[in-house]
Chain A
Amino acid sequence: MIEETSDSYLIGNIQRFCLQDGPGIRTTVFLKGCGIRCPWCANPENLDNKIVHYQTGSKPGAYGKYYTIDQLREVLLHDIPFYSSGGGITWSGGEALLTLPKLGRLVLDLKEYGINQGAETSVFVSDEQLEFAAENLDWFIVDIKILQPEGCLKFLKGDIKQYIRNVEKLADKKKILCFRIPLVEPYTYNDENLTLIIGFLKKYQQIPVEIFKVHRLAEKKYNILGRRMDSYTELSDERLEQFYERLKKNNIDVEIIQM
């Protein structure tokens, strides 16, 4: 394993043969560092831009590994034969858009190869960071979380104005592949927020929406990291269905997905 140098970049994880992170068969790169703090976060190991060490029994492990750009390029090109039919690279995180400009050379190289690139993002990023991504990636899956300004600040530590502005910019460039809504009580699934979400989506009627209920599968990961997971309970299927029907009634192109 190489150590941190000026030429190396910390990557959370690289998963090949990902089928749910965008079109076709994809390799998903989990980048480190995130500007917000979702209480239900499923990837707590990627919140900070540092290697996270853990211990399972007597077995030590670490989340994160340093790569040079050349090493990353090599790994990401392995599955080129499987990227036809729209597949390619998905940048995820953490917040992918925060780190992406640092990997600028690689993103441009992959673009040269004609490889489809997209990102899963919450778009709580600066204008420059958004600009780089919007310029160079093919599409974005954009999360919709808490649209209430106070809730957004209190729970996510995010600025709702920044979010709305960034969504508008991506939508103007027609680069939003779909919206993805994690449903978890009381944070995202409350009457006021759901009403705000529907109002928000009406502005983007042509963009499909995926909803899913947040599970607690990451609890084991929280435990080995020595952290406590928020005590939310999983949403019932009935409530999930109710919101699905509500979106349908509002002529929103919605699909329930498993995450």
Chain B
Amino acid sequence: MHNGKKIKTLSKAGRHLHMAKNRAWKKNKIVKQKNHQYYADILKNILFTKLIDDKQPGQQIVHMLKKTKMHYERGNRFYYYIDENVSLWSDKPVIHNLPLDYTLIAHASLKEIKRVACGKKISKEMRITNENILSAVEEYLLRCVKYLKNLGTLDAAERVSRIITEKSRNMEDALQRILIWNQFLHQSGHTLMGLGRLDKILDRYCEGLSNKETEDILTDFCICLHRHYIFKSQALLGDTGQLIVLGGLEEDGSYFCNNITGALLDIISRLNLPDPKLLLRVSASMPRKLAAKACSCIVKGNGSPLLSNDDLIIPLMQEFGYEKEDTYGYCTSACWEPLIPGKTMDQNNLDNVIFAGPMADFLNVLEQSKYQNFESLLNDYCKEIEKQAKRCAESASAIKWKEDPLLTMFYPDCLMYGRDISEGGARYNNYGLLSVGLSNTADALLNIKKAVYEEKKFTLQELKDVMKQEEIFKKLSSVSPHFGDDSDIAVQVSQRLFDAAKAGIADVRNSFGGRFKIGLSSPGYVDCGKKIPETPDGRRAGEPLGVHISSMHGQAYTELVSFAASLDYSRGGFNGNVVDIMAAPSFIENNFEKFVDFLQFGIKRGFFQMQMNVVSSSILLEAQKHPEKFTGLIVRVWGFSAYFNDLPEEYKNLLIRRALQNEGKV
């Protein structure tokens, strides 16, 4: 999950080092013994790319395709190999973290793609670039066919060969094409690229396939996607962005799902791999059978699927300005941020608004005389949040993106107007911010309201001193109401803070004239928490901030969902709002049908999104002590699934604490 602002400020040399360090760190976690070789490979890669003339757009991609080595292991249905040593770097941030629209790729031949991307109506410069890239793709495919024939794997060779001139005959053809382009994206530095609505895209190939055949083909596809797990991971192992979006509401009010929807839920339940990850677009009109299948997958504990509520999200996207017909095709970027494949270049994780950020400065200048009542204090705090959000948006607006002929080819608006996606050629060019610490800030302010203004236990000036007293500080965490309670006041204070952030970004426009959106989910709860001094919600300096919209005080799931459903996500507040739930496996298993009820009623009640960690505290504690016994244990972190053993200790500790809280053990 890259932070665009961070990337922007890195120098060219720094970027090499950053990449090398990042990848070496990840690799180091898994294969320490290969560390030196890995550094050597990275250096080789840097030398390789530095020698290439970058003046002609797409030349690096052409060169990358020429140099990419082939590798195929016998017995595989699909050809899929990323040459990790031949991947591109850039001195500017690369557009990433969005799903490519694989529709054309899945169905059409390369010849057809050429016809679309290099037609007479395309500007001369763009046509030449596209021809160069697609010719290099053709050469690569021919090389691949030859390689596979030499190995005697004729089926795979023919399937790759057909890509060049024939449209897809069946599901295997379509998936092979998706895998080839998925490889190109990863190698060309496009990280965290989702797979999009594969059940919808592949729908036409369901006919004539038995359930068993469908499941076998998709299983092989999923196993392929799990390869190169370390290479694909970004800030944390598992942060690969390989998200498949399933199901969804149609414009006519019906709900779309098919054999592939169910099959992928079954496959991910069975394979128990962190990759690929699933997101299920849910709606009140979805069949109960599918909701039950989703629960069966969730209870396996692999973190999939994240549930995304179409009944709420689609109208919010329309209100923001996306065309009605586009919104029904929405996907999310790597985790939770809704956008439209093939039409948006929306870069959604550009910075974090940290709600608890102004707290320390604010506490220093608190004067009772200035704040005669809680309302005036809350007003001033909201103004600080508004300013912070505006600063984040203005800073992100200035990002210059690396020109991107590869992605541009698959954006019809870019082709039509001859404008690269990096220059705002897509139909929508909005940016998104994340936010973190709303729960801590709302709780802190609710505590001040109660202790200073209602019970008058101490004055504002005394608050800082009071926080130094251990006993009183501890008690602050148990004062109610809290963020997550569905009481009017908890909702109101949380909403005021959220609205302040929305107000801060409302008038900012990026360099393409695009607008900003924000959401109440972020991967920053651990890292941002490290920088934040203690807060008067009972959180110590440096401790993690609250995770998305989650229960920190044992609220019932229904209460948390009602709280989340009471928040107003309009006016750009829809950039991912995940209710994050911890649950013990036995709790769901013993009450399965009622849990399905809970999901269905929760959708109607109006949660925005929901994800679950289904694991008991005892398992997590045991896994922390004896990682060797739990190599396959998967958990949900940020907005993706990952192996528990691969997580830094602070993330493990946080998950354990939350599981204990959920089970009422702390």
Which chain B residues in 579-606 approach chain A with CB under 8 Å?
A: 587, 590-591, 594-595, 597-598, 601-602, 604-605
Looking across the interface, which residue of chain A has its beta carbon closest to that of B590? A258
**Does A84 have its Cβ within 8 Å of any Cβ on chain B?**
yes
**A58 and B471 in contact (CB under 8 A), knowing A16-B556, A25-B601?**
yes
Q: Which of B180-188, B356-364, B557-565 contacts A (4 or more CB under 8 A)?
A: B557-565
Contacts of A24 in B (CB 8 A): 594, 597
Q: Give the CA-CA distance A15 to B587 in the complex, in Å.
A: 16
Which chain B residues in 435-484 approach chain A with CB under 8 Å?
A: 471, 474-475
**Does A6 have its Cβ within 8 Å of any Cβ on chain B?**
no
Q: Are B598 and A82 in contact (CB under 8 A)?
A: yes
Q: Shortest beta-carbon distance, B191 to chain A, in Å?
A: 39
Q: Are B605 and A82 in contact (CB under 8 A)?
A: yes
Q: Are A16 and B604 in contact (CB under 8 A)?
A: no
Q: Give the CA-CA distance A16 to B555 in the complex, in Å.
A: 8
Q: Are A17 and B597 in contact (CB under 8 A)?
A: no
Q: Give the CA-CA distance A79 to B486 in the complex, in Å.
A: 10
Contact partner of B559 (CB less than 8 A), chosen from A16, A58, A84, A85, is A16
Q: Are A81 and B598 in contact (CB under 8 A)?
A: no
Q: Are A78 and B605 in contact (CB under 8 A)?
A: no
**Does A20 have its Cβ within 8 Å of any Cβ on chain B?**
yes
How many interface residues does B have (CB within 8 Å)? 20
Contacts of B556 in A (CB 8 A): 15-17
Q: Are B471 and A81 in contact (CB under 8 A)?
A: no
Contacts of A258 in B (CB 8 A): 590
**Does A19 have its Cβ within 8 Å of any Cβ on chain B?**
yes
Q: Are B594 and A78 in contact (CB under 8 A)?
A: no
Q: Are A19 and B558 in contact (CB under 8 A)?
A: no
Looking across the interface, which residue of chain A has its beta carbon closest to that of B470? A58
**A78 and B598 in contact (CB under 8 A), knowing A25-B558, A258-B590?**
no
Looking across the interface, which residue of chain A has its beta carbon closest to that of B586? A258
Q: Give the CA-CA distance A79 to B471 in the complex, in Å.
A: 35
Contacts of B602 in A (CB 8 A): 82
Q: Give the CA-CA distance A258 to B590 in the complex, in Å.
A: 9
Q: Are A79 and B562 in contact (CB under 8 A)?
A: yes
Looking across the interface, which residue of chain A has its beta carbon closest to that of B559? A16
Q: Are B597 and A85 in contact (CB under 8 A)?
A: yes
Q: Give the CA-CA distance A139 to B84 in the complex, in Å.
A: 65
Q: Are B597 and A79 in contact (CB under 8 A)?
A: no
Contacts of A82 in B (CB 8 A): 558, 597-598, 601-602, 605
- For the complex with contacts A20-B591, A24-B594, A78-B562, 8 further pairs of A-B residues with Cβ separation under 8 Å are A17-B557, A17-B598, A19-B594, A20-B590, A24-B597, A79-B558, A82-B558, A85-B597
User: Could you list some 24 contacts between A and B, CB below 8 A?
Assistant: A15-B556, A16-B556, A16-B558, A17-B556, A17-B557, A17-B598, A19-B595, A24-B597, A25-B594, A25-B597, A58-B471, A59-B474, A78-B486, A78-B559, A78-B562, A79-B558, A79-B559, A81-B562, A81-B604, A82-B558, A82-B601, A84-B597, A84-B601, A258-B590
Q: Using a CB–CB distance below 8 Å, which chain A residues touch chain B? A: 15-17, 19-20, 24-25, 58-59, 78-79, 81-82, 84-85, 87, 258
